[in-house]
């Protein structure tokens, strides 16, 4: 085999595992740091978008149909929907960027 200080390696799928000593394997996935950063940004924005959608869905018009309240409701709802649309567009751009980032 080799000396005690040497590492042996085996491949399982896309992951390489290094044998350090009997019974101990260290797993190391090879992922480009740029891809990791792009993936993190996509996941972060997707989570924020989910929260924003929930906020938007919580805004409902109650029993009072006072014209002033209806106008305020519509303005607030439109602003939230516009923010959601912008976040969706940004998320699509980030996903496209991640798709073209090498692993």
In whole numbers, what is the pLDDT of the chain averaged over residues? 81
Quote the pTM value: 0.68
- pLDDT value at position 80? 96
Is pLDDT of 21 > 70? no
Strand 8-12 to 24-29 pairing: unpaired
């Amino acid at each position: 085999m080799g000396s005690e200080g040497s590492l042996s390696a085996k491949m399982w799928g896309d992951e390489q595992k290094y044998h350090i000593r009997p019974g101990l394997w260290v797993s190391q996935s090879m992922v480009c740091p740029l891809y990791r950063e792009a993936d993190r940004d996509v996941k972060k924005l997707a989570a924020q978008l989910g929260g924003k959608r929930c906020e938007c869905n919580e805004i409902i018009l109650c029993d009072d149909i006072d014209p002033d309240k209806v106008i305020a409701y519509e303005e607030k709802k439109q602003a939230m929907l516009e923010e959601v649309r912008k976040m969706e567009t940004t998320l699509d751009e980030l996903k496209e960027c991640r798709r073209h980032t090498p692993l």
